[in-house]
Each structure stands twice: as C-alpha cells, then as structure tokens.
C-alpha cells in the first residue's frame, strides 16, 4: 500500500463541509477548513464547537479530547491558500457545476502533483468534474450523507480516469473515518438517491391523486418500510427544495418523465412552505395497500435497475438503505421477506403507472419466486496471498449462520488452493468482527431451540479449526474492533496485525454467557491463565498497546505498514510457538497487575465479590476489576473460570470440546436470556443466578 492519506483539506465550511472536517479531525487526521471569507471559516468552526460541546454533555468526548480535535483543524481563508502538501482535498461547496470547477481550477494550481482532489456531490457527473480538474487520474467523487460526523455511509464514485491508487487511498481514508463505503459507478443519483428521491416524489404524487393525506402516507410508509419518519416528515426536515431539485435532476438525466417534480411539491417550494402533516393519520386497509404497494414498487424496481446497470451489487443497495437512510431492511431483503414474485408484481404495477422510460429489469422477472442470495464474504488472491474479507459492515461484520457458512467455504477453498501460501482475514468498515449476532441467540432461546445455538457454534469451531490446522500461514487483520466471537476468530490465526485503532474485548460474562468459540481456551494458552482471567472474566477493554503487550496482537504497525507486515509474515511462514503461555511483554503494567491479582490463590475471594489480601479496594485499578466482576452473570462467570482453569490440564482440542459441551447448560439459564436481551434493548441486565 502506498503512503496513506493524513493531511486533509475541506473546501466549504457550511454544514456539510464542517461536518466532514470535524469527523476527519476526530479520527486524528490533520485538517484545513477552507472558505472564501474569514466569517465563513469562523462560522464553520462555531458549528463544530457546538457539536462537540453537545458531545461532551452526552459524555461521548472529554473536554481534553475536544481540545485535541479542535487543535487538529486549521482555518484557511481562500482556496488558493490550501497547503501544497495536502494529501486529499474534499470540495464541499454549492451543488453547481460551474462553482465547483472554479474551485478545482484554483486547487489544481495551489496543490502539489500528488494531491488527490475529491468532490462531495450528491448528483453531478463525476466524469465531467474529473475532466475539469486538470488531474482526472487523481480525482474521485464522494457522497457523504448528512450529518457526516454521524451518518456512517459514504458513496465513493471513481471517474473513468481515476487511478487504482487514487481509489484505494480514498476508500482507505473513508474506512479510517469509520464509514461504510459503497464504491459505485457514475450514474445519476448514484445508489441511494437513485431509489430514495423517486420514493419521495411518488409520495407527493399519491397525495396529489388523493390516495391519502400526508399524515396517512407517512404513517403507511413508516409501517411498510419499518422507519421512524415518513417521506413528508423527511422532506420537512431536509428541506422540500432539495427534494424538488433532486427529482427534477433525475428526470432530466435519466429521461424519465415520471420523476419530474410533482406539481404540489413545486407549489410548496415556490410558496416557501412545508408539508402539513398534522391531519388524522388513521388509514383504511385499502389505503394501506394502495400507498404501500406503490412506494414499495418504485423502490423494488429502481433497486433492480441499479444492479442491472452495474452501479453496485444487491448487497450494497441494501447497505445504502440500512446505513444511509436507517431503514430496518434494504430493498432486496424486503423483497425476500415479502416474496420476490410478489415484489416483482408491485414493481411491474409501478412500471405501468410510470409509463415512458421505466421498465422492470429482465433478471428481476426471471427470478420468479426464488429468494435473492446475498454474499457477505469476498476473496481475492494476489501473489499467493488469499485475502478473505467479511463484507457486512452495516452489522459490524457480526457472525451469523450465513457469514460463518460463507467464511467456511472461503477458507476451505484457500486451504485447497496450491497457489496460496498465506490466508489473510479482514473485515470491511471500522470493525474486524464485532462478535456474533446476538439476536439469533435470543430468538433461539425464546423458541426453545438451543440445539440450533449448539449447531451454529459447532460450525464456528469447525471454521476456526480449519484456520488452526491450516498448512498456510494465517493472518487476522485486527485493525479495528474485534469483540467476542470476532476476537476468538482472530486468535485461531497464526498472527494478528493491529494498528492504533485496534480494540479488543470479551464481553460474554457481562451478557450472561461465556466465550464459546475458543475464548476460554486460546487466550490462556497465548498469554497465561491469570492474564486470560483479566481479559475474559472481567471483560476488560484492550487498546492496541495492551493487546500487543499481552500477545493477543502479534504485530502492531502503522496503517501504512500493514501491507509490508503481511509480506514479511508470508515470507517467514508459520510461528515456531503459537501458544507461549505468557504475555509478550510481562513487564507491562497490565500483565504485571493481572499476574498478581488473578492468581489461583485469589480466585475464590474474587469470585465471591471481595478484594484479595494485599490489595487496596479503593485503588482505581482494583476497584474497576471488582466492579466489572460484579456486573457479570454468576453462572457464566463460574463456567468461564472453570474452562480457563481446564487449560492447565488439557490440550486445545479437549478444552474446546469442554467449551462446546457446556453450551446447553449456559444458554438454558434465565441469566443468559436476560443478559443477551438487555444488550439488544440497550439496558443494564439484572441477574438472578438462575
């Protein structure tokens, strides 16, 4: 990998530009916030200050963190004064082609030849903008969603001339912002607006036709799409003029008269008013069917058109809806739920209504009633290295039945490929893998189907065993969040590469269960039993340095050094000692504390909730451990402790069998259901030791 982006400039200090600048500074990039006049730069800085002040009140950031974030943002007056050595400039000015190209002309002169230019645009042609920049190979379109410091979606739109290096660096920058990235083709509306904007306009047309009032249409849309705000409420929030401009633009660019802004929307904008959503929202069954089928029909049809035009994959369309719009399900997931045949009928009915320039893609009608298959695991092979990426960033790459099945197939294929000597596991987005799908466990417990949990976990063990016993060198790229099952997956690999953004944790005992994918076995064999107790029983968060000191991260590198590290490990081959049984750095504060606090002699006292002799329970580090243990489920804690103890007298395979053998017992407890349910419901569990 080439040197990653570090110095970022954002041109335009309005709501969008200041939000991009803020988010970049939060993630430790050096930021210039550029505008034409000092007053606009200062306004942008005050917008950021207000957001960060609110974040302090909500305890998201400390005052010291806010000071550091603001310290990374430099105000710059005049585009021509953008620093020459800037790595990436994001233009976020008014959505007008001529205004944007004038900015790019000035930037092309001010910036060094290595600077990448990007336009934050929701609609304009990226290819046309690229030609206007003077450096089309170092240009890319970006579409951040409002508010960019909060909304996790970004669409990356390469121009035809964008170099692979440009795309790679910009995608990496977006991922380092913690964004879910959709790389898509340069077509009007890109991905999300392509189906979302016609959905808004169709709501206006339904109102115009008298199918229902605005409040009823909103209520029906909320139910049909499982969303919190209907189309009229959303337009009131973002501004009806944006909806009108967007839908007129799509109508013109796509030669689709149906998308021309509805007359009532046009009149509303001319009168500078908002939609009246105060009427009675109660609706009849007939109204529900008429409105919901029309709104679903347009979304289903356009989603299929996006895939047919090769703008992006089905999975990315769904990702856009769930992450960018916060819909409960994406269009293709909704089709599977309703029935693909029924969804196609709705799209065909909409096609008849829409008329000229609108048709249902052939692959959609040919699908019949067969559900769509989704792929969440991607494999690439280059120079003998198979990189297997879990691509489910909208769910933090959580492990479910589908993901485990697809991962197993991918690892088996890599193991069987004689051209592959190294397997690298990676996670798309900000997480490696943020654990297992907790809702699956809750649903199975409530359905009295605990054997299904056992089978799922046993399949996970088979996957991890394939990594454990692989003849290839196996590497986990734990360069983000690795929790629970994700951390267990990583520990089955020979090596774990971390960066400063790495975070590890075993949360299981605090949610009513114990780690069931090797988490009670591998940590103790890697860094010793006392340290494993510190990590697993007390569920302590581990930053990159702590994880490296303990040996759970084997190689801690800068982001720029990840590729070189993989090459080195690939050439060195498998480790001579995967399970040394002691911390990598025994002298580190955490290792020293854990090895004296979580000794065999102290465990009976600690399991009883008391402070061991020789320690001051008022001391912060001691008090935190006792408090953490007090928040755990007693049965889960006891079983986890026994399983860790078993590592002293068993080999790995025997220990893993013990872990599996206890699953029915732990998932049958009331505390397991309580802890897992509390996690989903975002509340603190109350355990009864039952």
Q: Write down all domains in the chain, each with its CATH number in brackets.
A: 7-183 (3.40.50.720), 192-366 (1.10.1040.50), 377-681 (3.90.226.10)
* Angle, helix 97-110 to helix 126-133, in steps of 10 degrees: 40
State mean pLDDT over 167-192. Answer: 94
> How many angstroms separate the CA atoms of 469 and 459, rounded?
15
CB crowding 215-248: b at 16 or more within 10 Å, else e: bbbbbbbbebbebebbbbbbbbeeebebbbbbbb
**Per-residue pLDDT at 213:** 97
Please give the backbone phi and psi of residue 100, each rounded to the nearest 5 degrees, phi first: -65, -45
Alpha-carbon gap, residue 507 to 398, rounded angstroms: 14
Q: What is the pLDDT of residue 2?
A: 66
| Residues present in the chain in total | 690
Tokens of 139: 């240009």
> How far is 500 from 396, CA to CA, in rounded Å?
18
Across the chain, mean pLDDT equals 96
User: Does the pLDDT value for residue 352 go beyond 70?
Assistant: yes
Q: CA–CA distance from 656 to each of 459, 477, 533 (Å)? A: 13, 24, 17
- Which pLDDT band, with edges at 50, 70 and 90, does 429 fall under? confident
CA–CA separation, 67 and 584 (whole Å): 34
- Residue 64: its H or E element: helix 63-71
User: Tell me: the pLDDT tens digits for 514-572?
Assistant: 999 999 999 999 999 999 999 999 999 999 999 999 999 999 999 889 999 999 999 99
Mean pLDDT within 218-242 = 96
The Cα 533–Cα 646 span in angstroms is 12
How far apart CA 659 and CA 645 sit, in angstroms, is 12
Report how far residue 377's alpha carbon sits from residue 389's, in angstroms, rounded to the nearest whole number. 6
For the segment 61-80, the average pLDDT, to the nearest whole number, is 96
> Alpha-carbon torsion 223, 224, 227, 230, what sign?
negative
Q: Is the pLDDT of residue 122 over 90?
A: no
Task: Summarize the confidence of residues 600-613 as an average pLDDT.
Answer: 95
Structure tokens at 84: 């020459």
- What pTM was estimated for this model as a whole? 0.90
Residue 563: how many other CB atoms lie within 10 Å: 13
Q: What token pair was written down for 586?
A: 């025994």
Q: What is the rounded distance in angstroms from the CA atom of residue 266 to the CA atom of residue 246?
A: 12
* Enzyme catalytic residues: 122, 143, 155, 193
Q: Per DSSP, which regions of 314-470 are E strands?
A: 377-382, 385-390, 422-427, 431-434
Residue 123 has pLDDT above 90, yes or no: no
The answer to which of 95-104, 380-389, 484-493, 629-638 has the lowest mean pLDDT is: 95-104
**pLDDT on residue 3:** 81
Rounded average pLDDT over 4-21: 96
Strand 385-390 relative to strand 377-382: parallel, antiparallel, unpaired?
Answer: antiparallel
Distance CA 574, CA 474 (A): 8
Is a pLDDT exceeding 70 seen at residue 215?
yes
Which whole number is the average pLDDT over 493-504? 96
Burial class (CB in 10 A: 0-12, 13-18, 19+), 378: middle
pLDDT band at 404, cuts 50/70/90? very high
Please check the confidence at residue 1 and state whether its pLDDT lies above 70: no
CA distance linking residue 31 with residue 22, whole number of Å: 8
Q: What is the pLDDT of residue 95?
A: 86
- pLDDT tens digit string along 564-594? 999 999 999 999 999 999 999 999 999 999 9
For 308-320, b/e burial (b = at least 16 CB within 10 A) is eeebbbbbbbbbb
């Amino acid at each position: 990998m080439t040197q990653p982006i570090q110095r970022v400039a954002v041109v335009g200090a309005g709501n969008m530009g200041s939000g991009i600048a803020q988010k970049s500074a939060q993630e430790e990039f050096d930021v210039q916030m550029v505008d034409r006049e000092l007053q606009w730069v200062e306004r942008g800085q005050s917008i950021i200050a207000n957001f960060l002040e609110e974040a302090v009140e909500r305890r998201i950031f400390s005052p010291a963190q806010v000071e550091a974030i603001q310290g990374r943002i430099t105000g710059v007056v005049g585009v021509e004064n953008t620093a020459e050595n800037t790595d990436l400039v994001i233009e976020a000015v008014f959505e007008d082609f001529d205004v944007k190209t004038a900015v790019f002309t000035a930037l092309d002169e001010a910036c060094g030849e290595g600077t990448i230019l990007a336009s934050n645009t929701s609609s304009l042609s990226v290819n046309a903008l690229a030609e206007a920049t003077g450096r089309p190979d170092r240009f890319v379109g970006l579409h951040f969603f409002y508010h960019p410091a909060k909304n996790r979606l970004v669409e990356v739109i390469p121009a035809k001339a964008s170099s692979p290096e440009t795309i790679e660096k910009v995608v990496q920058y977006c991922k380092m912002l913690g964004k879910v990235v959709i790389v898509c083709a340069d077509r009007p509306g890109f991905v999300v607006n392509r189906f979302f904007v016609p959905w808004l306009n169709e709501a206006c047309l339904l109102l115009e036709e008298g199918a229902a009032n605005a409040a009823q249409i909103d209520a029906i849309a909320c139910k049909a799409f499982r969303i919190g705000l209907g189309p009229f409420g959303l337009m009131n929030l973002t501004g009806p003029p944006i909806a009108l401009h967007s839908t007129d633009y799509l109508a013109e660019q796509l030669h689709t008269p149906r998308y021309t802004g509805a007359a009532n929307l046009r009149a509303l904008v001319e009168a500078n008013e908002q939609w009246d959503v105060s009427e009675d929202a109660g609706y009849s069954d007939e109204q529900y069917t008429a409105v919901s089928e029309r709104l679903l029909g347009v979304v289903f049809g356009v989603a299929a058109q996006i895939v047919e035009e090769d703008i992006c994959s089905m999975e990315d369309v769904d990702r856009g809806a769930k992450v960018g719009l916060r819909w409960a399900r994406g269009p293709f997931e909704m089709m599977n739920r309703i029935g693909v045949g029924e969804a196609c009928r709705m799209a065909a009915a909409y096609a008849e209504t829409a008329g000229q320039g609108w048709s249902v893609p052939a692959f959609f009608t040919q699908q019949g009633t067969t559900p769509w298959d989704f792929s969440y695991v991607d494999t690439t092979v280059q120079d003998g290295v198979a990189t297997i990426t879990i691509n489910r960033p909208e769910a933090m790459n959580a492990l479910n039945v589908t993901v485990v099945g697809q991962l197993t197939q991918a690892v088996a294929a890599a193991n069987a490929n004689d051209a592959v000597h190294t397997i690298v596991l990676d996670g798309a987005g900000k997480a490696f893998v943020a654990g297992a799908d907790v809702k699956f466990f809750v649903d199975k417990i409530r359905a009295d189907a605990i054997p299904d949990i056992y089978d799922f976990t046993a399949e996970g063990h088979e996957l991890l065993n394939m990594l454990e016993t692989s003849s290839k060198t196996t590497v986990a790229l734990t360069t983000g969040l690795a929790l629970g099952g994700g951390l267990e997956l990583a520990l089955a690999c020979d090596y774990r590469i971390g960066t400063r953004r790495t975070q590890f944790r075993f949360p299981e005992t605090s949610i009513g269960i114990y780690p069931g994918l090797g988490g009670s076995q591998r940590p103790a064999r890697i860094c010793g039993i006392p340290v494993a107790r510190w990590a697993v029983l007390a569920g302590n968060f581990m930053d990159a340095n702590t994880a490296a000191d303990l040996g759970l991260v084997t190689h801690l590198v800068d982001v720029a050094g990840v590729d070189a590290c993989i090459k080195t490990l690939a050439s060195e081959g498998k480790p001579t000692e995967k399970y040394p049984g002691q911390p990598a750095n025994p002298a580190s504060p955490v290792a020293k504390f854990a090895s004296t606090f979580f000794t065999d002699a102290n465990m009976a006292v600690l399991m009883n909730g008391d402070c061991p002799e020789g320690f001051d329970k008022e001391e912060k580090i001691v008090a935190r451990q006792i408090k953490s243990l007090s928040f755990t489920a007693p049965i889960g804690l006891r079983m986890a402790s026994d399983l860790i103890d078993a590592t002293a007298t068993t080999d790995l395979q025997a220990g893993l069998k013990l872990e599996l053998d206890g699953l029915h017992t732990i998932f049958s407890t009331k505390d397991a259901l309580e802890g897992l349910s509390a996690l989903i419901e975002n509340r603190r569990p109350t355990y009864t030791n039952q």
